[in-house]
Amino acid sequence: MIKNLSYREALNLAMVQEMDRDSNVFVYGLDVPDHKRIFGSTVGLVEKFGSERCFGTPLAEDAMTGFALGSAINGMRPIHIHIRADFLMLAMNQIVNMISNFRYMTGGKLKIPLVIRAIIGRGWGQSAQHSKSLHSFFAHIPGLKVVMPTTPADAKGLLASAIRDDNPVVFLEHRWLYDIIDEVNIDSEALLPLGEPSLLRKGNDLTVVATSWMNVEAMRAAEVLKKYHGTNLEIIDPRTIAPLDYEMIYDSVNKTTHCIVADYDWLYCGFSAEVAARISEHCFNKLKAPVARIGFSPTPCPTTRPLENKFYSNAVDIIRLAEKILNLKPADLAKEDFYSYENKFKGPF
Partner 1 sequence: MKDRNTELYRTMYLIRMCEEKIRVHYPSDQLKTPVHLCIGLEAIVAGVIYSLKSDDQVFGTYRNHGIYLAKSGNTDRFFGEMFGKVTGEFQGKAGSMHLSAPENGFMGSSAVVGTTIPLSLGCSFVNQQKNNGRLTAVFFGDGATDEGVFWESLNFACLKKLPLMFICEDNGLAIHSNTSERQGYRSITDIVNQFDCHVIESESTDPEVIADLTEKGISKIYQKNGPVFFHFKYYRYLEHVGINEDFESGYRSREEFEHWHKIDPINLQRAKLIKNGLKESFIQEIENAAIDKIEKSIALASQAPFPPDTDLYQNVLV
Residues that bind partner 1 (CB under 8 A): 52, 57-58, 60, 62-76, 78, 93-94, 97-98, 101-111, 142-143, 145, 165-167, 243
Nearer to partner 1, 58 or 298 (CB): 58
Distance between CA atoms of 39 and 24, rounded to whole angstroms?
24
Query: What's the closest the beta carbon of residue 133 comes to partner 1, in angstroms?
Result: 22
Distance between CA atoms of 337 and 349, rounded to whole angstroms?
16
Nearer to partner 1, 145 or 293 (CB): 145
Active site residue 130: yes
Query: What's the closest the beta carbon of residue 31 comes to partner 1, in angstroms?
Result: 16
Query: What's the closest the beta carbon of residue 113 comes to partner 1, in angstroms?
Result: 9
Nearer to partner 1, 72 or 273 (CB): 72
Pairing state of beta strands 259-262 and 206-210?
A: parallel
Marked catalytic residue, from 80, 82, 130, 174: 130
Distance between CA atoms of 79 and 162, rounded to whole angstroms?
10
Nearer to partner 1, 90 or 328 (CB): 90
Nearer to partner 1, 31 or 336 (CB): 31
Q: Residue 194's closest CA among 219, 167, 175?
A: 167
Query: What's the closest the beta carbon of residue 255 comes to partner 1, in angstroms?
Result: 31
Q: At what angle do helices 214-229 and 315-325 cross, to 10 degrees?
A: 50
Query: What's the closest the beta carbon of residue 166 comes to partner 1, in angstroms?
Result: 4
Q: Is the dihedral of CA 274, 275, 278, 284 positive or negative?
A: negative
- Which active-site residues does the annotation give? 130
